[in-house]
Structure 1
Amino acid sequence: MVKKAVLILALLIILKPIFPVIEYVVNYDYISKVLCVNKEKPKLQCNGKCHLMKELAKNSENENPISTNKKIASQETTVVFFQEMNSFTITPLYFQKAKRANSNYSNLYSYKFSDSIFHPPAVIS
């Protein structure tokens, strides 16, 4: 029961931006004849799309409010404590070359290159 409620809530949150489109499709006749701003201009063939655009804009504005009109308040700060930092230099590190651990090491690995490809026998007797 709880899983179904969480699933329904998640679907509502995901589908929230689509609600104005669903409302437009369901109430197409009412929106195109009553709420349409351009109903006096049939050449535009708006059919309520202007109302749909307004609803989509309102929906997106409610989700992400634009803060361009708000001014950021400047704050004055008072320095309570100040300590001058001493400059520092980075000293380069020198690494010694690594010596070979065992100079008597012999490589016993060998590889024989062959152009022929192994094919299993065609008939087993």
Structure 2
Amino acid sequence: MNKILILVALTLFLKPIFPVVDYVVNYDYIRTVLCENKAKPELKCNGKCQLMKSLAKESEEEKPINSDKKSNIKQEVEVLFFQIIKSLIVKKIYFQKTTTISDNYSNLYSHLSSCLVFHPPTFIS
């Protein structure tokens, strides 16, 4: 199965080379019979005109059937989604005024004062 698949792939990849191979194999026949410039030997065509025709025919066959330029144009469309954001309304909050200050203040702050400087441990090996 793999050999058949490889053979088909090679055939597809080498398809543009077939007219050149045909020209090389049938060189004498193309040069003497099919050449259009047999009467003009100074051009030294030797059947190259026939090769160019067969290469042009192969390239035409490779083009897609629908070759409209309009259908080949790729268009980009940008879609923009948006949502209207309502403006932020700041409302004032009124607190009740308190005239008495509470006397129950608690000092929860503590500080350790030390003059020691941290030194990393030393290892003696």
Partner of 2:61: 62
Quote the Cα distance in structure 1 between the aligned partners of 2:46 and 2:34.
Answer: 9
**1:64 positional shift:** 1.3
**1:87 positional shift:** 9.6
Partner of 2:30: 31
Quote the Cα distance in structure 2 between the aligned partners of 1:51 and 1:4.
Answer: 34
Quote the Cα distance in structure 1 between the aligned partners of 2:60 and 2:84.
Answer: 51
Gaps of 5+ in 2: 72-81, 86-125
Q: What are the Cα deviations for residues 43-71 of structure 1, in whole angstroms up to 9, with x where unaligned?
A: 00000000000000000010014866x58
Q: Which amino acid aligns with 2:7?
A: I
Q: Percent identity?
A: 57
Quote the Cα distance in structure 1 between the aligned partners of 2:83 and 2:44.
Answer: 72
> Within 5 A, what are the aligned runs for 1:1-125?
2-65=1-64
Gaps of 5+ in 1: 74-85, 90-125
Q: Which amino acid aligns with 1:29?
A: D
Quote the Cα distance in structure 1 between the aligned partners of 2:44 and 2:65.
Answer: 31
RMSD over aligned CA atoms reads 2.8
**1:5 positional shift:** 0.5
Q: What are the Cα deviations for residues 76-95 of structure 1, in whole angstroms up to 9, with x where unaligned?
A: xxxxxxxxxx9969xxxxxx
| TM-score calculated relative to the size of structure 1 | 0.53
* Structure (1 or 2) with the larger CA radius of gyration: 2
Q: What are the Cα deviations for residues 69-119 of structure 1, in whole angstroms up to 9, with x where unaligned?
A: x5869xxxxxxxxxxxx9969xxxxxxxxxxxxxxxxxxxxxxxxxxxxxx
| TM-score calculated relative to the size of structure 2 | 0.53
Structure 1 moving runs of 4+ over 3 Å: 65-68, 70-73, 86-89
Structure 2 CA distance for partners of 1:6 and 1:87, relative to 1, 3 Å: closer
